[in-house]
Amino acid sequence: MDHVEFGKYLSQQRELRGLSRDEVSQVTKISPSLIAALEEGQMERLPSRVFVVNYIRAYATVIGLAPEEAILRYEEVDKAKPEPSPVVLERERRRRAWWALGVLLMVALVGVGAYVALVMTGKAPNPLPR
pLDDT above 70 covers what percent of the chain? 96
Residue 128 banded pLDDT, cuts 50, 70, 90: confident
pLDDT of residue 81: 64
pLDDT of residue 58: 97
Assessment of whether the complete model's pTM goes beyond 0.85: no
CB 9 within 8 A of CB 42: no
Name the percent of the chain in helix, strand, coil, to the closest 5.
75, 0, 25
- Cα 113 vs. chain centroid, distance in angstroms? 36
Rounded CA gap, 66 and 74, in Å? 13
Rounded CA gap, 59 and 123, in Å? 59
Indicate if the pLDDT at residue 83 is higher than 80. Answer: no
How many C-beta neighbours within 10 Å does residue 24 have? 21
pLDDT of residue 30: 95
Rounded CA gap, 126 and 130, in Å? 9
Indicate if the pLDDT at residue 130 is higher than 70. Answer: no
pLDDT tens digits, one per residue of 26-77: 999 999 999 999 999 998 999 988 999 999 999 999 999 999 999 999 998 8
Torsion angle (degrees, nearest 10) of CA 18, 23, 25, 26: -150
CB 8 within 8 A of CB 47: no
Rounded CA gap, 65 and 39, in Å? 15
Helix (H), strand (E) at residue 64: none
